[in-house]
Copies of this chain bind each other. A is one copy, B any other.
Amino acid sequence: MSHTVEILSVGTELLLGNIANTDAQMLSQGLSELGLNVFWHTVVGDNPQRAREAVALAKERADIIITTGGLGPTCDDLTKNVLADAFGKKLVFDEGSADRIRTYFQRIGRSMTDNNLQQAMLPEGCTILENDWGTAPGCAFEAEGVHVIMLPGPPSECRPMFQYRAKPYLLSLSEGVIASHTIKLFGIGESTMEAQLREQMNAMSNPTLAPYAKEGECELRVTAKAATDEEAQALLQPTVEQVKKLFGAKVYGVDVPSLEYVIIQALKDRGLTLGTAESCTGGLMAKRLTDIPGASQAFKGGIVSYTNEVKHNVLRVPEYQLERLADKDGNVVVGGVVSAEVAAAMAEGVRHVLGCDIGLSSTGVAGPDKDEDGNEVGTMFVAIATPEGTHVRALHLGTRPMRDRLRTQTASHAFDLARRYLSGLDYGT
């Protein structure tokens, strides 16, 4: 039997546009991978009557209802009340959940107000989905031929609650197994990638091949359905190999979370260390590398040299390199702070100052305005310094992307140099 899903999000903040409905996106992706058809997203505010009407409709047209939001004390646990009502269930107090909520407040060292214990009221006979990422537990039940799953609204809770609580519950509803691999690429646009694969994608049914673009990177998800995981893997493997061959050095990994993860692993494997010297990325490279647990074995540290003074005093970039200089005919003789030379000097400087094997650097104009030397927004240089020498990549990322996107892309380009060096590939473009 083929299931149809409605995602029902409860939250006035969505209707006011304070936040985008990223929960619905995340859930839709996850549900599609499980082979479940999402046919509707509905959003209502913290309003009991409209929530009731939305639930009545969802109950008629879908056989799986997944709700997000409306579980906390500030909305009187609207969602639980309405859903329990719609299926003729009572809310009962769950002592285990109450304990977890009390413990949570003890651990974060805040006093708990009584309204927090409302969150321990749950539909009778439900499966409790324990929330290790916040206070409001989720729950799931089946009634009148409909499966209901309630998840908390904050994305930092909704995502792991889906992954570790709802997904196992849903897996039991789908027949056979779904397996997938994600191939990660850097240095290729989504439309170029799609154009190269379109015919093949259209011709495939099992496995399927789906492209995604995010934050200047691309990924391809290969998904197969089969009776056993072994059979699914056998279906997946040839496609994964084919895609890796097609895109060559642009593929930076399969089933890996990020470029920075790949770098930290490769550094650990080879017993090497890395340091960063950042100007335009302002700490983002260091931040992303230290997002990876255990990064301290490979990442020694970084210098955020946001002023010329720090570039010279701490990173030892020669002062003459930091000021743009033109000859009498107007030809630029010294590029100034946004130049290949300064990127190189910064990478070499941090390698020396922190005593690490590899130095990575960035300098450029993240906007919103041109710099004092007249360099356009989006003009960036990233460099890598290694025992074998120094390499600079010049970037012209365009004036249109926003500041945070330019910074993210610049950091990713620096990481691309590092992962190519660590994999023994050429530096590419």
Contact = CB atoms under 8 A, between A and B. Distances in A.
A73 interface: yes
A156 interface: yes
Contact of A401 (B45, B133, B276, B281): B133
Contacts of A290: 281-284, 304, 306
Nearest to A297: B307
Interface string A112-136: 0101100000000000000011000
Interface in A1-32: 9, 12-22, 24-32
B21 A189 contact: no
B306 A296 contact: yes
> Most B CB atoms within 10 A — which of A44, A113, A211?
A113
Nearest to A299: B306
A104 B310 CA distance: 35
- Counting contact residues on chain A (CB < 8 A from B), the size range is 35 or more
B283 A285 contact: yes
Given A13-B212, A38-B15, A301 B305 contact: yes
B192 A110 contact: yes
A403 interface: yes
A111 interface: yes
A310 B305 contact: no
| 9 residue pairs, one from A and one from B, having the closest CB atoms | A282-B290, A283-B286, A17-B29, A17-B28, A41-B43, A107-B398, A283-B283, A283-B287, A302-B304
